[in-house]
Structure 1
Amino acid sequence: MFKKNLAHLRAYDPGPSPDEIKKAYGLDHLVKLDANENVYGSSPEVARAIAQAALLPELYPDCQDSALRQDLAKRLNINENQLLFGLGLDEIIVLVSRAFLAPGDSIVMAWPTFYEYYCHAQIEGAQTRKIPCNREGRHDLQGMLDVIDQTTRVVWICNPNNPTGTYVTGRELYAFVKRVPGDVLIVLDEAYIDFVVAEDFPRSLEWINDQENVLVLRTFSKSYGLASFRIGYAIGRRRVIEEIEKVRPPFNNPRLSQIAAFAALQDQAFKEACVRKNREVLDMTYAFLDRKEIPYFPSQANFIFVKTGHAKAVQEICKRNGYLIQAFEDGVRITIGKMNDMKGLLPVLEQAMNETLSEPSL
């Protein structure tokens, strides 16, 4: 009755809502640091633009995202027909998988990285080759190259990587791109690029005119604080964009989402202030973790991966104390919150690690 390749998939589980957690744990206050959201919100220009916009609920939205497309293309110095918009990057990952993958194909990705790459390959009946990140939490590019073969259709590079926060340098990635066969799509997921401070981070948009098989993904959900509006975009050669457009649902970006994204683009000062505050709090977090000798991966994003061990138990203790963080196999990912919130969380994290130190690994 159902696709057999769905048997081993799990549906996305958002867990209880913050209000449900507060009620269950008897909490007056809960700090949400588990989803890499912008803790500073969005530009005031977004609220003003939406308040002033006519609702027009009876009309379909602009299918081409015209005003946003024109503005963004100008800012990125690309042609308008090199852009594709989706309901966040999640939908674009769906569209890439639908356009390029079929049963018998394969994808290559790091692990751990963003789960949706694997999920939608599975849905399309393609195999997934997961190459473990190295000890520094970085992509093993040589290992990824080694498993590419005639079945490979897509290679996913999350840069900076979610959940580790680490990155691939421009030199490393360009050498990798040059060695990948030209008929394999290389998707560079740069959802967190605005938080990057590394001077050797790839300038991937400069490669698109020379590399037809490179597709770059970016989003308004993170630095612009528009996660609830669900709007992301892909940048690539027109030939690649055309293929993905064939599987894109019409009118997929609601009108108010387009208005919100356009307004956010006009207020670059707000975005830059968010990025600056994120880095200040991240530096404070580094200092605490270094002082307490708690291991972590240096981050180029708005989150940090702390190597706790007993991650589920650490997550649960933090939750009981009013802090939501995300557990992974060998550590926890923590969104970089506001200064006072992080100063409250970090001692709780230390306490949680001490409490679970003597527990057997799960």
Structure 2
Amino acid sequence: MKESVRKLQPYVPEQPVAALKKAFGLSRLVRLSANENPYGTSSTVATAVKNWDFSESNRYPDADAMALRLAVAKQQGVDPAQLVFSVGLDEMIVMVSRTFLGAGDQVVVSAPTFSEYALHAEIADATLISVPTLADDHIDFEALAQAINPAVKMVWLCNPNNPTGTSESLAAIEAFIQQVPTETMVLIDEAYIDFAADAAALTAMQLPSKYENVVVMRTFSKAYGLANFRIGYAVFSKAYAPTMQAVRLPYNVNSVTQVAALAAVQDQGFVQATVAKNAAERQAWQDFFTQQGIKYDQSDANFIFFAYPAAEKLADYLLHQGYRLRTGLRPGWLRMTFGTAADGLALRKLIAAYLLDTTQA
């Protein structure tokens, strides 16, 4: 066994809601710790899945996901040949790490960010270089550029970033890319970009056609509400796409998932409604935190990252009230997924009451 694997600290997934309810004696638990879509999944997805021909269950799926490939390519304005599909973005992170990293290589990230970038760098025997964010938790592009040396083979940009929710302009990202050597890959994770106030202006979707070393990733887990189906994709330059297709497992995305994702792409009304409701909740929470004097990062995602001196105690209190927030991402900070309007209202009342009680104690 490789020493890097022997020492590995695994990614800790969310516990099932049923298990948490039982553990804490709750009749209802709202999980606001996994950035899931609180509005469910498009009804057209359910219909498409139910209408799938299950007599095909003994057959392997379309390895090229051709129907989905053509739909996504048209939606994003890219060449179908540039697309590589994966089992969620988790598998894509595995694939690019396995392809571009080796022992002694280095990976640069802006910290804090999604922990799986570091996890798979470690598995590949690469070294992680973490560049702290600026005071407002935006990416420090100047410091990021200074961190690049001949050993750096990959740079990760999560936009909007998880866990901060902050987003960077396309101009800033492209200016940074122009400082990166062509042999260093720049991987742009846009898992949350659908929620951004000006997503069309922020996306780097067209950059892989301009820069061979740029990759842009998307997922159906968030705005599309398909987290359980595990489907994501990346847009590569034409120089690298064939190699990534060779690296990809031949039947990685099953037929039911392909059907679900295609139906989701075709129901943009559901996505637009989700984004609109999320924007309203995001504004309500930012207004609330401002009124309460609680520090938070300006979010462009479906969650908010905020500071509280006794963060673990607040999270524990809210968990016992039926609301689970994400802890452990930064000392004294919590990340909270935006829920429905009703849950948002109830949760703000709980936090306001908790703050009042603790200040009076």
TM-score by length of 2: 0.95
Residue aligning to 1:172: 172
Alpha-carbon distance in 2 for matches of 1:11, 1:203: 30
What is the Cα deviation at residue 42 of structure 1? 1.2
Structure-2 change in CA distance of 1:176 and 1:195 (3 Å): same
2:12 corresponds in structure 1 to 13
CA contact (8 A) 1:108 1:144 kept: yes
Instruction: Name the counterpart of 1:340.
Output: 342
**Are the structure 2 counterparts of residues 105 and 337 from structure 1 closer, same or farther at C-alpha, using a change threshold of 3 Å?**
same
Counterpart position of 2:114: 114
Aligned mates of 1:86, 1:353 — CA distance in 2: 44
1:1-362 correspondence runs (5 A): 2-14=1-13, 16-55=15-54, 56-198=56-198, 201-327=201-327, 328-329=329-330, 330-352=332-354
Q: Please state how far the C-alpha of 1:18 moved relative to its aligned partner.
A: 1.7
User: How far, CA to CA, are the matches of 1:199 and 1:231 in structure 2?
Assistant: 20
Q: 2:222 is paired with a residue of what secondary structure?
A: coil
Amino acid at match of 1:263: A
**Cα distance in 2, alignment partners of residues 352 and 258 from structure 1:** 45
CA shift digits 1:95-142 (9 cap, x unpaired): 000000000111100111000000000000000001111111111111
**SS state at 1:239 partner:** coil
Aligned AA (1:241): A
Q: C-alpha offsets along residues 28-62 of structure 1, whole Å, 9 cap, x if unaligned?
A: 11111110011101110000001111122211111
Distance change (3 Å), C-alpha of 1:353 and 1:243: farther
Kept after mapping to 2: 8 A contact 1:5/1:122: yes
Residues 72-81 or 241-250, more deviating: 241-250
Q: Structure 1 residue 13: deviation in Å?
A: 2.4
The aligned amino acid for 1:348 is: L
- In structure 1, the residue corresponding to 2:153 is in which secondary structure? strand
- Which whole-Å CA distance do the structure 1 matches of 2:4 and 2:304 have between them? 33
More divergent stretch after superposition (17-26 vs 195-204) = 195-204
Given the superposition, is the C-alpha separation of residues 198 and 267 from structure 1 closer, same or farther in structure 2, using an over 3 Å criterion?
closer
Residues 353, 132 of structure 1: CA spacing in aligned structure 2 closer, same or farther, 3 A cutoff? farther
The whole-number CA distance in structure 1 between the counterparts of 2:269 and 2:295 is: 34
Kindly provide the amino acid, as one letter, of the partner of residue 41 in structure 1. Answer: G
Amino acid paired to 2:89? L
- Amino acid in structure 1 at the alignment position of 2:16: S
Call closer, same or farther: CA 1:132–1:261 in 2, change over 3 Å.
Answer: same
What is the TM-score normalised by the length of structure 1?
0.94
User: Deviation at 1:212?
Assistant: 0.8
SS of corresponding position for 2:33: coil
Query: In structure 2, do the counterparts of structure 1 residues 132 and 144 end up closer, same or farther at CA, with 3 Å as the change threshold?
Result: same
Percent identity over paired residues: 38
8 Å CA contact 1:310–1:356 kept in 2: the answer is: no
Match for 1:24: what amino acid? A
Q: Secondary structure at the match of 1:29?
A: coil
CA distance in 1, matches of 2:141, 2:278: 29
CA contact (8 A) 1:5 1:123 kept: yes
CA distance in 1, matches of 2:14, 2:177: 38
The 3 A distance-change label for structure 1 pair 141 and 358 is farther
Q: 1:146 to 1:358 in 2, by over 3 A?
A: farther
Task: Evaluate the alpha carbon distance shift between residue 243 and residue 309 of structure 1 in structure 2; reply closer, same or farther with a 3 A threshold.
Answer: farther
Task: Give the deviation of 1:163 after TM superposition.
Answer: 0.4
Report the alpha carbon displacement of residue 352 of structure 1 after superposing the two structures with TM: 4.9
Given that residues 10 and 119 in structure 2 are in contact (C-alpha distance below 8 angstroms), is that contact kept between their aligned partners in structure 1? Answer: no
Counting matched residue pairs gives 358
> Any conservation in 2 of the 1:170–1:200 contact (CA below 8 Å)?
no
Q: Distance in 1 between matches of 2:191 and 2:340?
A: 20
**1:358, distance to aligned residue in structure 2 (A):** 11
CA shift in 2, pair 1:164/1:352, >3 Å: farther
| Contact 2:105–2:127 (8 Å) recurs in 1 | yes
Shift of 1:356: 7.1
Distance in 2, matches of 1:16 and 1:213, equals: 37
Query: Any conservation in 2 of the 1:313–1:356 contact (CA below 8 Å)?
Result: no
Amino acid aligned to 1:11: P
Which has the larger displacement, 312-321 or 60-69?
312-321
| One-letter identity of the residue aligned with 2:161 | N
| Root-mean-square deviation over aligned CA pairs | 1.8
SS of equivalent residue, structure 2 residue 71: helix
- After TM superposition, give the deviation of residue 10 of structure 1 in Å: 1.5
Structure 2: 5+ residue stretches without partners = none
